[in-house]
Amino acid sequence: MRTERPAVALVVLGLLAALAAAPQPARTKKAPAAAPATPLVRKDLLAAVPEGVPAPRRDIFRPQSPRLPAAPPAARGQAPKARGAAASEAPSFALDLVYVGSIKSGGTTTALVMRNGQTTPLAVGDEIIPGYKVLRITPDEIEVEGPKSERRTFTRQGDRP
């Protein structure tokens, strides 16, 4: 039994030496057929911008308050729809908004106001539309001054803390 192990080991070493000495077939890579170089972006599929395309209405990467209408129809010279003698007078305060809440940051208070379905941040002194200016902001109400120096207070709507 002792003689079998060295004999087996010699046979295995001989086979390994024979495999190492045998000539290896040359491994060559076949070069792929020269295909025409195609760009990563197919420019023929890109839609060309037609002439006369209007500029975008807003830049989504630059926060800013939305542009609100210049003034109510009564202030622009258009007569309101009359329902009688009392409706022929223009309303004294033609601003319609909903006070959602306020944010206090860095010593300044910003009011969040909904107007025409859009939420707008306002600070004291900001004009909502021409002639309507924010005078005071508290957590429960916002005070706005109209073009004829009339004042109106809007209370906060929605859930209360």
Which pLDDT score is estimated for 84? 46
118: Cβ contacts below 8 Å, ≥ 6 apart: 66
138: Cβ contacts below 8 Å, ≥ 6 apart: 102, 109
In a domain, 82, yes or no: no
Q: How many domains does the chain have?
A: 1
In a domain, 53, yes or no: no
Q: Write out pLDDT tens, residues 9-35.
A: 888 888 888 888 877 776 666 666 666
Greatest alpha-carbon pair distance for the chain in Å reads 129
Separation CA 6–CA 152 (nearest Å): 108
Question: In this structure, are residues 92 and 143 in contact, taking their beta carbons and an 8 Å threshold?
Answer: no
Which pLDDT score is estimated for 78? 55
pTM: 0.43
Separation CA 57–CA 64 (nearest Å): 12
The tokens for 147 are 């073009």
In a domain, 72, yes or no: no
**Amino acid at residue number 130:** P
Q: What average pLDDT does the segment 125-149 reach? A: 90
Tell me, what CATH number does 138's domain have?
2.30.30.830
Phi, psi for residue 89 in degrees, rounded to 5: -80, 140
Q: Which domain holds residue 124?
A: 94-155
Q: What average pLDDT does the segment 139-160 reach? A: 87
